Chains A and B, each alone.
Chain A
Amino acid sequence: DAGVIQSPRHEVTEMGQEVTLRCKPISGHNSLFWYRQTMMRGLELLIYFNNNVPIDDSGMPEDRFSAKMPNASFSTLKIQPSEPRDSAVYFCASRVDRANTEAFFGQGTRLTVV
């Protein structure tokens, strides 16, 4: 397996534009996580899905953020409209949903909003 695949790796956009980040989890994994990482706030859990259903979205900062998982092999995180404070590295991770399984992370998407 190629691991968790995120795209794009880098994104530069202007304030107010819509941004869509994409994630392909590892086949067979039924949990998917979206994280945001900044120097100030560290690694924050935004939302996680189990069997394509959002289980906990309490970390989603505000209504400008939305996440979907239309099937077991694809998820998106959308920011509309984007703001400079959304600049961060966004990670996607997947795992089998049990307490004793490891999570695999993608390489991340570095988002810069100017």
Chain B
Amino acid sequence: DAKTTQPNSMESNEEEPVHLPCNHSTISGTDYIHWYRQLPSQGPEYVIHGLTSNVNNRMASLAIAEDRKSSTLILHRATLRDAAVYYCILTTISGGSNYKLTFGKGTLLTVNP
């Protein structure tokens, strides 16, 4: 399975942009890049996903490198509610057309007031 590498932790100040990096050098051509986050005492929640082009939604932006070996999740203005563990994962084909979701350790984002 293609693996991802993320920093263990990052810190940001409220209302400042945050760039969360992810390396996935063994990504294959059909792998999508997904980001999830887990707020304290909750289950993970979807943030954004992409294949090749940069993506924007109401929560964040996803910037994907041209060679697809890395990506960056961008929170444009961090709030205290964005403090969470952020996971970068690849949806990898696992037998036929099935796609399983395997989570790594993620990045613990701390947001300072």
Contact = CB atoms under 8 A, between A and B. Distances in A.
Q: Do A and B come from one complex?
A: yes
Interface of A: 31, 33, 35, 42-43, 45, 48, 50, 55-56, 91, 93, 95, 97-100, 102-108
A97 B98 contact: yes
A50 B98 contact: yes
Interface in B87-107: 87, 91, 93-95, 97-106
A103 B100 contact: no
Contacts of B42: 107-108
Interface in B9-49: 30-32, 34, 36, 38, 42-46, 49
B94 A55 contact: yes
A45 B100 contact: yes
A100 B98 CA distance: 12
Contacts of B80: none
Interface in B60-109: 87, 91, 93-95, 97-106
Nearest to A55: B98
Given A43-B44, A107-B43, A31 B104 contact: no
A102 to B, nearest CB: 4
Contacts of A106: 43
